[in-house]
């Protein structure tokens, strides 16, 4: 469905050449929800512009829905864009048009007749949960409702790919979850491929199948979301994962325990069914150790539950080591948190 091969994008600036994307390689399958995460300046926005043909790569190949976006232009590019739609952070609605008129706009451009337009608009209004708000103007809508209009408009021409550029960044957490649920529902019902650009790991965790992490124009890590959560490799990925697995409260609790010489602080990572099994209870019954839970968190991902647990295990060194070996044997990833220097 989407293929990026050895993609390089450079811009000429007054001070010289700027590399926005470097040696990018991605394969995104049909019907997949794929997340691209990175902080400002990572190259995410350039990446999404490469996917819809607003930018051409300096070198490399960009293929989307059977089109070589990196080379086509004119009429062929316009045809390709009929299959590639987009929703934006700040909605980009036409303020002088009602909800239904905004949704109908791309159909008008495509030359769809009035009766067919009305039928399609009614279907989309129902799909995105805006029944009864058809005659409202954008100024009369909440942020979440505006984004629902943007999503409906993006779906008007039955695209195969939906690009989401920081689509929830302007929304509060509750509304963000509702919009993500809507995107997930659309993906499952229509089989549409969704590419999400974001700087929020919560967005990735909630609905994405796979993720690519970008830093300084490069893809530094990519893979199944659950696997990336379980074993983040790049420092930037670890920072993103900590957004949804750590809190200021548990960091404070940890700092108060680091100087205890008779115990070890250990972070445990559970994935899949292991997150639902009584591993800690068995450890306490089997080994002569005391276990104090400092912090725990279980998150749902598209691939299954992911849980982290910070525990303080107290006892003699031999028993603590046996307990850790037991955890390793149960496929529970354990990491000893070093004492502060």
Token pair listed for 149:
């209009």
Q: What is the CATH number of the domain that holds 60?
A: 3.40.50.300
- Examine the domain organization and report whether 232 and 287 are in the same domain: no
User: Is residue 341 over pLDDT 50?
Assistant: no
- Examine the domain organization and report whether 55 and 187 are in the same domain: yes
Q: Is residue 220 within 8 Å of residue 37, measured between CB atoms? A: no
pLDDT digits (tens, 9 = 90+) for 36-60: 999 999 999 999 999 999 999 999 9
pLDDT digits (tens, 9 = 90+) for 256-313: 555 666 778 888 887 766 666 788 888 888 888 888 888 777 777 777 777 788 888 8
- With both helix axes pointing from N to C terminus, report the angle between 99-109 and 143-155 in degrees, rounded to the nearest 10: 20
* 161 — pLDDT class (breaks 50, 70, 90): very high
Strands 59-64 and 2-13: antiparallel
- Examine the domain organization and report whether 267 and 287 are in the same domain: yes
- Of the three residues 242, 257, 288, the one that is the final residue of a domain is 242
pLDDT at res. 339: 43
Q: What is the CATH number of the domain that holds 289?
A: 3.30.70.260
- Examine the domain organization and report whether 237 and 251 are in the same domain: no
pLDDT digits (tens, 9 = 90+) for 316-334: 888 888 888 888 888 787 8
- Examine the domain organization and report whether 200 and 237 are in the same domain: yes
pLDDT digits (tens, 9 = 90+) for 56-106: 999 999 999 989 999 998 989 888 888 999 998 888 999 999 999 999 999
- Examine the domain organization and report whether 115 and 14 are in the same domain: yes
- Examine the domain organization and report whether 220 and 86 are in the same domain: yes
- Of the three residues 198, 217, 242, the one that is the final residue of a domain is 242
- Examine the domain organization and report whether 199 and 268 are in the same domain: no
Average per-residue pLDDT for the chain: 88
- Examine the domain organization and report whether 60 and 96 are in the same domain: yes
**Closest to 222 in 3D by CA, of 28, 21, 74:** 28
- Examine the domain organization and report whether 125 and 271 are in the same domain: no
**Average of pLDDT values for 167-187?**
93
| Residue 137 belongs to domain spanning | 2-242
- Of the three residues 207, 242, 277, the one that is the final residue of a domain is 242
pLDDT at res. 231: 83
Q: What is the pTM of this model?
A: 0.83
The number of folded domains in the chain is 2
- Examine the domain organization and report whether 67 and 137 are in the same domain: yes
- Examine the domain organization and report whether 233 and 252 are in the same domain: no
Instruction: For residue 237, count other CB atoms closer than 10 A to its CB.
Output: 22
């Amino acid at each position: 469905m989407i293929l990026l091969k050895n993609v390089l994008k450079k811009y000429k600036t007054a001070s010289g050449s700027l590399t926005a994307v470097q040696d990018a390689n991605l394969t995104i399958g049909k019907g997949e929800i794929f997340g691209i995460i990175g902080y400002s300046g990572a190259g995410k926005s350039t990446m999404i512009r490469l996917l819809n043909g607003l930018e051409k790569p300096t070198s490399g190949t960009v293929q989307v829905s059977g089109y070589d976006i990196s080379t086509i232009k004119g009429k062929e590019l316009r045809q390709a864009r009929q299959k590639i739609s987009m929703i934006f952070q700040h909605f980009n609605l036409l303020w002088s048009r009602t909800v239904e008129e905004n949704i109908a706009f791309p159909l008008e451009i495509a030359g769809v007749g009035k009766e067919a337009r009305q039928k399609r608009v009614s279907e989309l209004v129902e799909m995105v949960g805006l029944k009864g708000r058809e005659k409202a103007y954008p100024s009369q809508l909440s942020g979440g409702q505006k984004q629902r209009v943007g999503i409906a408009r993006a779906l008007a021409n039955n695209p195969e790919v939906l690009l989401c550029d920081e689509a929830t960044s302007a929304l509060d957490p509750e509304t963000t979850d509702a919009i993500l649920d809507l995107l997930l529902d659309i993906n499952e019902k229509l089989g549409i491929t969704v590419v999400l650009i974001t700087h929020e790991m919560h967005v990735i965790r909630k609905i994405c199948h796979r993720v690519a992490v970008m830093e300084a124009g490069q893809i530094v890590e990519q893979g199944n979301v659950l696997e990336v959560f379980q074993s983040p490799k790049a420092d930037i990925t670890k920072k993103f994962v900590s957004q949804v697995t750590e809190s200021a409260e548990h960091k404070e609790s940890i700092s108060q325990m680091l100087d205890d010489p008779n115990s070890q602080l250990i972070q445990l990572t559970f994935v899949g069914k292991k997150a639902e099994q009584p591993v800690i209870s068995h450890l306490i019954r089997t080994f002569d150790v005391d276990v104090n839970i400092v912090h725990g968190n279980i998150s749902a991902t598209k691939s299954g539950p992911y849980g982290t647990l910070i525990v303080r295990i107290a006892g003699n060194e031999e028993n603590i080591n046996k307990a850790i070996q037991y955890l390793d044997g149960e496929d529970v990833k354990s990491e000893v948190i070093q004492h502060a220097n």
